[in-house]
Chains A and B, each alone.
Chain A
Amino acid sequence: MSHKKLLIEPLRKANPVTVLVLGICSCLAVTAQLKPALVMGASVTVVTALSNFIISLLRKGIPNRIRIIVQLVVVATLVILIDQFLKAFAYDVSKRLSVYVGLIITNCIIMGRLEAFALSHGPWESFLDGLGNGLGYSLILVIVAFFRELLGSGTLLGYQIIPQSFYEAGYQNNGLMILPPMALIIIGVIIWINNNKTESK
């Protein structure tokens, strides 16, 4: 596979969320607003890319019997580092993401890519693959958060988008959008559109 394909494919054709249906849990939790979704997406992208890179570098020396443990240690270390960084430099976002930063460790996308890709490919390819998958995850996160924040709170990144005159005319924010189930429904719609388009080709 060419390098470009490694990076582009996970965005749509092999998207970890909509095609492989991994990492759904955190999609529900952090997408009520756009800002935490962006930070979460960036964090997961950094972790997948770096862990893929590191595991790929180590892959020839890792004893087969403890390879899952080694993978977990590497991922956990990266996640703790990111958690500490967020606490130091983006405190309010880290408070809102709360346990979900820690739960990146259990995100299926990361372990899945390590097992399926990094253990059998070179460091550079693995890094691109991790980057692509992280971005694919972030893309879905941002799309879901966009609709949930716009329709649920009438804002984007905290700025008022829907004008006050709409509210005066009787428009109301959709309270269901704020609740977790709506994230599943939006993801469902995205999967539907995505499948429809890829199959017709």
Chain B
Amino acid sequence: MKRDINSNGYIFLYSTILVVVVTVLLTTASLWLQPYQQRNKENEKRIKILEAAGVFEDGNIDLIEGKLPLYLVNDSINVVPLHGKGLWGPIWGYLAIAPDGKTVLGANFDHKSETPGLGGEITTEKFQSQFKGKQISSDGKYIPIEFDAITGATKTSNGVKEMIDNTMQQYYQHEP
């Protein structure tokens, strides 16, 4: 008995089977590869934290779980994780602060979908290096960091500023 391959019943059956097969395949692959992908992500995070702190040999990172998360590199440098909004999507980064809590040692930013060449420039060395050595607090109070915005990327630059302001204010309120 030959089936009509253009009948509605056959089309429904065909697409159902196809979708089930594909779903099973993709789920299996995803479950199998997840540990590898997770490891890559953690590795990248580690490198980013060390870069922000300016430590290039293997550094030692500890996560301090308080009210707010804080990374301690080589038992002295504080690295604060930042999360904020860019123009098109989330931006995030790390800010390394000297043991005295007053000066910035370095910063590292990344983004999901900022415009390459404009907002995307926040990942460049040129943009990030201007944070080095900036004063961030006096008498235990946070003072906003001033930095040069990127021409043509006002929204992203403001996003970076807001991200740093919001996060750091909380840190200095709770644990000066």
Instruction: Please indicate the chain B residues that have their CB under 8 angstroms from the CB of A69 in the complex.
Output: 15
Is the interface on chain A under 10, 10 to 19, 20 to 34, or 35 or more residues?
A: 10 to 19
Q: Are A88 and B26 in contact, with the CB atoms below 8 A? A: no
B14 within 8 A of A: yes
Instruction: Please indicate the chain A residues that have their CB under 8 angstroms from the CB of B11 in the complex.
Output: 63, 65-66
Instruction: Please indicate the chain A residues that have their CB under 8 angstroms from the CB of B30 in the complex.
Output: 84
A47 to B161: give the CA distance in the assembly, Å: 43
Contacts A61-B5, A66-B11, A73-B19 given; indicate if A84 touches B29 (C-beta within 8 A).
yes
A80 to B22: give the CA distance in the assembly, Å: 11
Instruction: Please indicate the chain A residues that have their CB under 8 angstroms from the CB of B18 in the complex.
Output: 70, 73
Instruction: Please indicate the chain B residues that have their CB under 8 angstroms from the CB of A91 in the complex.
Output: 37, 40, 43-44
A88 to B36: give the CA distance in the assembly, Å: 5
A69 to B15: give the CA distance in the assembly, Å: 9
Q: Are A65 and B26 in contact, with the CB atoms below 8 A? A: no
Instruction: Please indicate the chain B residues that have their CB under 8 angstroms from the CB of A84 in the complex.
Output: 29-30, 33, 37
A66 to B26: give the CA distance in the assembly, Å: 21
Chain A residues 76-119 with CB under 8 Å of chain B are 77, 80-81, 84-85, 87-89, 91
Q: Min CB distance, B17 to chain A, in Å?
A: 10
A200 within 8 A of B: no
- Which residue of B has the minimal Cβ distance to A85? B33
Residues of A within 8 A of B (CB): 61-66, 69-70, 73, 77, 80-81, 84-85, 87-89, 91
